[in-house]
Structure 1
Amino acid sequence: MKKVNFRNKDMAWDISALILYPPGFNEASQYPTIVSVHPFGSCKEQTSSATYGKALAEAGFVVIAYDASFQGESGGEPRYIEDPSQRVEDISRVIDYAVTLPYVDADRIAGIGICGGGGYIFSAALTEKRLKAVVGITPVNLGRLFREGFSQYNPVAALEAMAAQRTIEARGGEMQVNELLPATPQVATENGLTERDVFEATDYYKTPRGQQPGGATRMLFSHAQKTLSWDAFAYAETLMTQPVMAVVGQKIGAFGGYRDGHEIYGRSIASKDRQLVELEEWSHYDLYDKAQPVSAAMEQIVPFFNKHLS
């Protein structure tokens, strides 16, 4: 594994990434390459590299797991911005970097994303045809989630609050950075925050199980407006021409990965090969790092990528 920082000619800041190499890697050879996209509120050191990046590298792929702009060790100010359009553009910029590497086969690039990263990789594939196949692990359409649960089903009120806060900040006031999760699983329990996805997210992000310095689980409230008008799956019926796989757990939670996985599968009618993998008895956050469901997912993902990157 190698850590890199790069800046394309149209970028104003660096992107930080981890490149994971397959066994027996030879820089003189060319390899199929996977761009791995981390979840909302995550970073490259978590599930995108430590779980799926590692497994895919062991299966023979070069994997590039990176930090989104404004997050982790990547550049961009102010910090903690979650901008779906920027997140999708980041994927193209990572591909721009990948195709300059002598060991990356530019005709064999695919993408994988987890949670919100799954929504982003699907959205990117609609227009980024250098992606030859895409996989979403418990993929979440972040726009849908913001319009619903994250805004308490009142997106207009959320937008009005964001507008007021942005004016305060433009006039020199303090920025509002929202912490998205309870501090610990114990705090979650004490405050009745025991809904499956909320509690399991806390168990992953706020304990040694998955906690990393770059995984801030924070969001700059005033700059989240564009998320509420965004749809990860817009025009999928006509533009999703690549092979697509959605992997979901059948234990359903409030963040909606099961629902969104079914939706992208159903809407990708122009895809050359669409697959829906349902894993019984597993939840959204089980698929982040639990050995058994991850192994079951990889049994489907590796043949899928091998088929379409051969």
Structure 2
Amino acid sequence: MESIRFRNDDMAWEIAALILTPPGFDPGKRYPTIVSVHPFGSCKEQTSSAVYGRRLADQGFVVIAYDASYQGESGGEPRWVEDPTQRVEDVSHVIDYAVTLPYVDADRIGAIGICGGGGYILNATLTEKRIKAVVGITPVDIGRLFREGFSDYDPIGALEAMAEQRTKEARGGELQVNELLPASPEAATEAGMTERDVSEATDYYKTPRGQEPGGATRMLFSHAQNTLGWTAFGFIEMLMTQPMMVVVGQKVGAFGAYRDGMEAYGRATASRDRQLVSLEGWSHYDLYDKDEPVGLAMDRMVPFLQKHVAG
């Protein structure tokens, strides 16, 4: 695994990434390559590289897992901005870099994303036709989530509060950085935050199970307006022509990955090979790193990506 930073001609800051290579890697050869997109509030060292990236590299793919702009070790100011438009644009910047590497086969590029990254990568694939096949793993439409649960079902009230806060910050006031999760599983229990996705997210992000310095689970509140006006699946019926796989767990949580994954799969009728992997007995965060559900997902993902990307 190699840690790199790059900047394309039209970028204002660097993107930090990890490049994972197959066993027996030969830089003189050309490999099918997977772009791996991390979840909302996450970073490249977590599930996008350590779980799915490593397993795909072991199956013969080069994998590029990177930090989103404004997050992790990537550049961009102010920090902890969650901007769906930028998140989707990051995908194309990563591919721009990938195609300059002599060992990347530019005609064999696929992509995966987990959670919010799953929504972003499905959206990016609509217009980024260098992606030959895509997998959304427990994908979440961040725009839908912000308009609903993350704004207490009051998106207009949230937008008005963001506008007021942004004006304060423009006049020199302190930035409002929201922590998205309780500090620990114990704190979640004490606060009565026992809903499945909240509890399991806290167990992943706030314990040694998945905790990483770059996975800050923070968001700059004043710069989230675009998120409420964004949708992951607009025009998916028309523009999702590439092979697409959606992986979901059937144990439903408040963040809505099962609902969003089923919507994406159901609407993507123009896809040349549309596949659904619906795993009974497993949840959104089980699919981040639990061996059995990840193994079940990989059993379907690997042949799919070998056929459409490596083949």
> How high is the TM-score relative to the length of structure 1?
1.00
1:139-175 CA distances to partner (integer Å, 9 max, x unpaired)?
0000000000000001000000000000000000000
Partner residue, 2:196: 196
2:293 matches 1:293: yes
Alignment of 1:117-136 (within 5 A): 117-136=117-136
In 1, Cα distance between equivalents of 2:146 and 2:243? 27
Partner residue, 1:180: 180
In 2, Cα distance between equivalents of 1:111 and 1:198? 27
In 1, Cα distance between equivalents of 2:137 and 2:125? 15
Question: Shift in Å at residue 72 of structure 1?
Answer: 0.1
- Aligned residue identity for 2:43: C
- Aligned residue identity for 2:153: Y
1:199-241 CA distances to partner (integer Å, 9 max, x unpaired)?
0000000000000000000000000000001000000000000
Alignment of 1:1-310 (within 5 A): 1-309=1-309, 310=311
List alignment gaps of at least 5 residues for structure 1.
none
Helix, strand or coil: the match of 2:112?
strand
Question: Shift in Å at residue 248 of structure 1?
Answer: 0.3
- Aligned residue identity for 2:243: P
Helix, strand or coil: the match of 2:34?
strand
Question: Shift in Å at residue 187 of structure 1?
Answer: 0.3
Question: Shift in Å at residue 44 of structure 1?
Answer: 0.1
In 1, Cα distance between equivalents of 2:261 and 2:58? 26
Question: Shift in Å at residue 259 of structure 1?
Answer: 0.4
Question: Shift in Å at residue 278 of structure 1?
Answer: 0.5
Helix, strand or coil: the match of 2:132?
strand
Question: Shift in Å at residue 271 of structure 1?
Answer: 0.4
Helix, strand or coil: the match of 2:133?
strand
Question: Shift in Å at residue 19 of structure 1?
Answer: 0.1
- Aligned residue identity for 2:219: M
- Aligned residue identity for 1:223: H
In 2, Cα distance between equivalents of 1:203 and 1:283? 13
In 2, Cα distance between equivalents of 1:156 and 1:270? 34
1:178-206 CA distances to partner (integer Å, 9 max, x unpaired)?
00000000000000000000000000000
- Aligned residue identity for 1:31: Y
1:102-161 CA distances to partner (integer Å, 9 max, x unpaired)?
000000001000000000000000100000000011000000000000000010000000
In 2, Cα distance between equivalents of 1:94 and 1:126? 16
- Aligned residue identity for 1:179: E
Question: Shift in Å at residue 260 of structure 1?
Answer: 0.5
In 2, Cα distance between equivalents of 1:25 and 1:143? 39
In 2, Cα distance between equivalents of 1:242 and 1:227? 25
- Aligned residue identity for 1:98: A
> How high is the TM-score relative to the length of structure 2?
0.99
In 1, Cα distance between equivalents of 2:133 and 2:121? 10
In 2, Cα distance between equivalents of 1:152 and 1:60? 44
In 2, Cα distance between equivalents of 1:152 and 1:132? 38
Question: Shift in Å at residue 258 of structure 1?
Answer: 0.4
List alignment gaps of at least 5 residues for structure 2.
none
In 1, Cα distance between equivalents of 2:91 and 2:42? 16
Helix, strand or coil: the match of 1:248?
strand
In 2, Cα distance between equivalents of 1:231 and 1:30? 35
In 2, Cα distance between equivalents of 1:283 and 1:267? 22
Helix, strand or coil: the match of 1:65?
strand
